[in-house]
Amino acid sequence: MINDSSKTILDRPPRERILLTAHDLFYRDGIRATGIDKVIAESGVTKVTFYRYFPSKNDLIRAFLNYRHELWMAWFNDALQRHGGRAGVGLMPLVETMAEWFRKPIYRGCAFINTVAELGGVLPDVLEICHQHKQDMVRVIAELLPDGPNRQQLANAAAVAIDGAIVKAQLEAQEAAEKQSLKSLEMLLTALDAFAELTPTAKAPND
């Protein structure tokens, strides 16, 4: 999920430099722990330039979340395809997709869950961005399931299982070869797949 362009941050336009720097710092260290002065220093811009693009830290937080959403969803869709995800195949590709993410050198959990925990009660509009991110994730998950009357409920249940695994993985040793979060996620998704197979597909009125 890191931009792999050959350009360094300092080669980029000022607004992009600020946003990329804030993204890395906010995700790694937390939003409250990251001051504007640190973002300015590490992005190599002046205060005047910073405030021209982001009049307040709250503006930067919103831009960070929108950027993170686009970055993460692009990775999620790509990773699912690489791990065999396609329409109606079931939920198992989600396990290897999450495993890929959990094993990244810098893994700090879900930026949206973390942001709600830090700022949800202070910045209500942040909740809407985070909610939309999770809804978009559920839509992708739903495509993996066979069509049926419980498809949306099963996708929501799978998303809850994934969010639980994301948080659990934060508590586990980074070098752990067998993460309990992944084992538990596989068990839960297997059960949801089995339930989906037992659920009759929707039939046309004349059937």
The predicted pLDDT at position 1 comes to 55
Could you identify the residue written with the tokens 């509009």?
Answer: 125
Which residues of the chain are in CATH 1.10.357 domains? 64-198
Rounded Cα distance between 108 and 114, Å, is 9
Concatenate the DSSP letters of all residues of 119-154 into one string: HTTT-HHHHHHHHHHHHHHHHHHHHHSPSSTTHHHH
Render pLDDT for 82-103 as a digit per residue (tens, 0 to 9).
999 999 999 999 999 999 999 9
Q: Which of 101, 119, 4 is nearest to 64 (CA)?
A: 119
Residues in the chain, pLDDT under 50: 2, 4-6, 202-207
- Chain CA centroid to CA 98, Å: 10
The class that CATH gives domain 6-55 is mainly alpha
Say which CATH topology domain 64-198 has. Tetracycline Repressor; domain 2 (1.10.357)
Total number of residues shown for the chain: 207
Residue ranges matching CATH 1.10.10.60 in the chain: 6-55
Summary count for the chain: helices (H), strands (E): 9, 0
